[in-house]
Structure 1
Amino acid sequence: MNKIIIMLLLLSAASLQVQGQDASIDTTINNKNIPFKPKSLIIPGVLIGYGMVGLVSPALKDFNIRVKNEFRDHDDKKVNWDDYAQYSPFLSVYALNALGLPGKNSFKDRTIVLATAYLLMSGSVNIIKKTSKVTRPDDSDKRSFPSGHTATAFMGAEYLYQEYKDVSKWYGITGYVVAAGTGLFRMSNERHWLTDVATGAGIGILSTKIAYWIHPAIKKAIFKEKDNLSGTVMPFYNGREYGLGLSMRF
């Protein structure tokens, strides 16, 4: 289990390092938007690719089982911490702003980015779940691949990093540690395989990156004249499903 923890944390750190070292191709309208960085596709691409290969690779399927058994051998208790931790990275952005520590963007811009990222992430996850039909480790259903909780957590971690990297990269690092912990708990609770978690992490990171890259176009096309945008962003739970509630006032 220690090896798995170290691997996830190293992947999180590598993602931050690649983002910090890339040369960029500037396709933005102003300096508050995030430029497209080709090298920043490496980490999410590797994570998603690993999970996709795991769908057909006997070796990776066997490794999934070994990881499951290792978690079971070390701890058979189920803790639902991951149901709440998945939201904490992106909610931290709004909490920090409320505490008087502004990030990169205004409420309007960061909320448009978050809504875009969430739609990209949740849409991708749900489509793949319905088509892949991978059975969960606990045999509860066939919606294991990829991990939606992990995707949400890594989406938020990347969002937190982008908004506060100019203040301190430690905010982003903390978000990624929480996201990695979310993935670990999904495996520990036997809700997901390692390949599910890896792909979910990649989708989450990539969704946020795309949201920042296309933000100028979305803002110009839809929200150009709506400068007085305000509202709230909160997670919800209806007894069966978790999700993101977004309320805006124009």
Structure 2
Amino acid sequence: MIKYFLNIIIVLAVIPITAQSITAKDTIKTEKVWKQFVVPASLTGAALLLTNSDFENDLQSRLGGKTNTSIDDYTRFAPAAQMYIADAIGVKSRSHWFDQTKNLGISLLLTDLVTTRLKRSIDKERPSGANNNAFPSAHSAYAFTTATVLYEEFKDTSPILAYSGYGFAITTAALRVAKDAHFVSDVLLGAGIGIAIVKIVYLVDHLFAWNPFLKDDSFIIAPTIGDQNYGLAGVFKF
């Protein structure tokens, strides 16, 4: 188990170092890069300290078994819906909708790859006993991925909107614990992974700056995400 924890620490340590080496040419200060990883690193550290501890087990006995709702399957993607609704009504954002979609897609793909690999490598049983893929929580990772993309896009133009996505992310994580799908450490690590991956994607997004829709901003293509259903939808801006 210790070797898996070390792998997590190494991966999360390499992310900001890689980001710094890539963005040095653009004169991004080391301090600025590292500050963006304080929160995900803290969440990861807390997760590693808590996991499989007696304190966590006691905490789960108090918090778990409170609900069997499936709303967390949808709240994890709510911040993405917020972003496209804001685009459709004309709220100013950091990036064009195509770049938002590109960054969101890349972030979710990387989040899925990391969480899936860790789930398969770390043998931790869920509180419900359903399987041994508890650590980390993918739902929480996706929720904090979408929330952080929303934050990055609107933090300078609409702070309330930017932070509101974290309400859905925290709700998703809390529901995963309340329905005995995950321990607290599982959702903490998922949150750390989701935030860290979005930070690195936005640090290097200039490396894949390609947008065929810059000349026409009247049409938005947004992903549609449901329970086992994924697709694309077109929205006209008036």
TM range (shorter): 0.7 to 0.9
> Does the 8 A contact of 2:84 with 2:222 survive in 1?
no
1-side partners of 2:157 and 2:79: how far apart? Answer: 16
Matched, 1:61 2:53: yes
Structure-2 change in CA distance of 1:205 and 1:28 (3 Å): farther
Aligned residue number for residue 47 of structure 1: 43
State which of 52, 71, 77 in structure 1 corresponds to 2:67: 77
- Aligned residue for 1:140, secondary structure, equals coil
> Does the 8 A contact of 2:77 with 2:143 survive in 1?
yes
State which of 118, 123, 134 in structure 2 corresponds to 1:128: 118
Matched, 1:96 2:86: yes
Deviation at 1:53, TM superposition (A): 3.9
**TM-score, L = length of structure 1:** 0.74
How do 1:31-46 residues align onto structure 2 when only pairs under 5 Å count? 37-46=33-42
How do 1:206-225 residues align onto structure 2 when only pairs under 5 Å count? 206-219=196-209, 223=210
Q: Which whole-Å deviations, capped at 9, do the CAs of 1:88-135 have from their partners, x for residues lacking one?
A: 012211111112213111012111111111111111000000100211
- Name structure 2 gaps, 5 residues minimum: 1-21, 215-219
How do 1:1-250 residues align onto structure 2 when only pairs under 5 Å count? 37-55=33-51, 61-72=53-64, 76-219=66-209, 223=210, 226-228=211-213, 231-238=221-228, 245=231
> Does the 8 A contact of 1:26 with 1:36 survive in 2?
no
Paired amino acid for 1:228: F
Structure-2 change in CA distance of 1:201 and 1:95 (3 Å): same
- Aligned residue for 1:37, secondary structure, equals helix
Deviation at 1:28, TM superposition (A): 8.3
Q: Which whole-Å deviations, capped at 9, do the CAs of 1:14-49 have from their partners, x for residues lacking one?
A: xxxxxxxxxxx97587xxxxx962111111011122
2-side partners of 1:76 and 1:227: how far apart? Answer: 48
> Does the 8 A contact of 1:48 with 1:198 survive in 2?
yes
Identity of aligned residues (%): 27
| Root mean square deviation, CA, Å | 2.5
Structure-2 change in CA distance of 1:28 and 1:79 (3 Å): farther
2-side partners of 1:27 and 1:113: how far apart? Answer: 21
Paired amino acid for 2:60: K
Report the number of matched residues. 204
**TM-score, L = length of structure 2:** 0.77
